[in-house]
């Protein structure tokens, strides 16, 4: 039964979730919020939806790029190098990004008579992203239920999984990760050095997947 809407970036995690729960997903939404890598991610999101015959919408949130402070919105040179666990990676946080996107997705779910909103946050996000943590997921789930006539729920199946475990699930599903984007710099190739590139490399290695990504280095 098609009862869900998914927030789909075009990255590894949300693409895996798309394939994993394709039988339940009626609508996929990508948000263009002015990040360095939106233009690289969104075409992949569209591609995978086309492969699965799932309706895909792109919703503009350009005000975030104009008014919010984050290195993710400030050009590729502002993106720090290093692992997600590093203190300098906090500069990539876009304040309350998931909260804003989930609010829109919840309204879309109610408008389309859908019961669930899905997002692909995972355990590795918890270190620096407050709106990826389990307590946020639980709180937003309650908020969505209370604020909609049909009691929309938030589903976060990967919340306590590692990115490596998600990649392993993608391997089982036969996902081509060369058709996903991770790099925060959004260049012609993955930089190989920013937090998301480092995490991507580690996850693919953990899952025993030959890395199909073309890196600058």
All residues at 6 or more sequence positions from 172 whose CB lies less than 8 Å from its CB, including other chains: none
Q: How far is CA 89 from CA 7, 97, 105, in A?
A: 23, 16, 27
How many angstroms from the chain centroid is the CA of residue 35?
13
Q: Residue positions in the annotated binding site?
A: 8-18, 183, 191, 194, 197
* 69 neighbors 95 (Cβ within 8 angstroms): yes
Q: Residue positions in the annotated binding site for ATP?
A: 8-18
Tokens for 38? 């939106």
- Bridge partners, residue 81, by sequence: 194
* 61 neighbors 101 (Cβ within 8 angstroms): yes
Q: Residue positions in the annotated binding site for Zn(2+)?
A: 183, 191, 194, 197
CA distance 98 to 150: 21
All residues at 6 or more sequence positions from 62 whose CB lies less than 8 Å from its CB, including other chains: 32, 33, 34
Tokens for 63? 């005000």
β-strand pairing of 4-7 with 153-155: unpaired
CA distance 31 to 7: 8
């Amino acid at each position: 039964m098609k009862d869900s809407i998914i927030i789909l970036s075009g990255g590894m995690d949300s693409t895996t979730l798309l394939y994993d729960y394709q039988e339940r997903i009626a609508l996929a939404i990508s948000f263009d919020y002015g990040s360095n890598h939106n233009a690289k991610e969104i075409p992949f999101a569209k591609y995978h939806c086309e492969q699965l015959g799932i309706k895909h919408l792109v919703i503009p949130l350009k005000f975030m790029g104009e008014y919010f402070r984050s290195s993710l919105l400030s050009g590729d040179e502002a993106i720090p190098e290093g692992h997600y666990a590093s203190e300098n990676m906090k500069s990539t946080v876009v304040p309350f990004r998931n909260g804003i996107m989930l609010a829109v997705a919840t309204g879309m779910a109610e408008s389309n008579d859908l019961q669930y909103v899905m997002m692909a946050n995972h355990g590795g996000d918890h270190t620096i992203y407050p709106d990826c943590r389990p307590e946020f997921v639980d709180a937003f789930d309650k908020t969505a239920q209370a604020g909609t006539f049909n009691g929309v729920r938030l589903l976060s199946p990967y919340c306590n999984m590692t990115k490596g475990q998600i990649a392993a699930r993608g391997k089982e599903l036969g996902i081509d990760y060369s058709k996903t984007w991770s790099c925060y710099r959004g260049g012609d190739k993955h930089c190989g050095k920013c937090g998301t590139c480092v995490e991507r490399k580690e996850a693919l290695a953990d899952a025993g997947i030959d890395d199909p990504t073309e890196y600058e280095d």
